[in-house]
Amino acid sequence: MRKNLFNVGALMRGFSTTFSYMFKKMPTIQYPSVKKQHAPRFHGLHELRRYDDGKERCIGCELCAIACPANAITVIGAENTPEDRRSPGERYAARYEIDELRCIFCGLCEEACPTDAIVLTPRFEMADYRRGAFVYAKDRLLVPPEAGTGTPPDERPNGIPADLGGVMRAKDTVDIAEGYDATNRGHILRTQRRGLAALRQTQDEPR
Ligand code: SF4
Ligand code: SF4
């Protein structure tokens, strides 16, 4: 008898939970006409940016491809010529592809890029029926010239953490060496160089 009463109580508690939800606001969003605001640091579809003068930021250095843990990026660089200058550096990306099906949207490519060329935008709508459609080449990644430079990462909704703001500002430059120095890899190299210089100095000193 006691057990039966307990079960009825449990049932009533369950029904009351269901009943209470009947008067709550529906969480369903009428997508795609209404879109949910995602987290400020959401990582979505990639974009290759340009400089103000329309030149491509990408210098075909392949650092993003090396940093990518999913092996999703293919970069084949080519030399700029005076007649056909695509980027301010010596090279540009003749071929640049990202397999978005392999991508885990970690953002390491963005972090590794010395010129702030590749960024992850908040866009997420990329559904398709064909596997091949998820391999994004330059024709879909590169911001069209009429669209300006592309969205800098620090202008995303709610911005980026303050500690990365300085790096982003320094990377937002046409000076490739300065841009590279501003990255984590650049910082590591600088520290190593300083360490080596100090070591050499100690070795050169007369004993
Ligand atoms: S976001 Fe991560 S997994 Fe995707 S392409 Fe960039 S480095 Fe590779
Ligand atoms: S790291 Fe940046 S500049 Fe180098 S190939 Fe990738 S996108 Fe281009």
Bond prior to 32 in cis (omega within 30° of 0): yes
> Does the pLDDT at position 185 exceed 60?
no
Pocket lined around ligand 2, Cβ cut-off 6 Å: 58-64, 75, 93, 112-113, 115, 117-118
Q: How confident is the model at residue 189 (pLDDT cuts 50, 70, 90)?
A: low
Structure tokens at 17: 């939970």
For residue 184, what pLDDT is reported? 46
Q: Where are the domains of the chain?
A: 46-194
In ligand 1, the atom with minimum distance to the C-alpha of 107 is: 1
Phi, psi (rounded to 5 degrees) for 136: -90, 120
DSSP conformation letters of 129-173? S-GGGGEE-HHHHBPPGGGTT---GGGSTT---HHHHHHHHHHSS
In ligand 1, the atom with minimum distance to the C-alpha of 112 is: 7
Ligand nearest to the CA of 61: 2
Answer yes or no: is the C-beta of 73 below 6 A from any ligand 1 atom: yes
Residue linked to tokens 């392999």: 102
Q: Tell me the pLDDT of the chain averaged across its residues.
A: 79
Instruction: Kindly state the average pLDDT of the residues 155-180.
Output: 47
Q: DSSP assignment, residue 50?
A: B
CATH classification code of 46-194: 3.30.70.3270
Residue linked to tokens 């070591």: 199
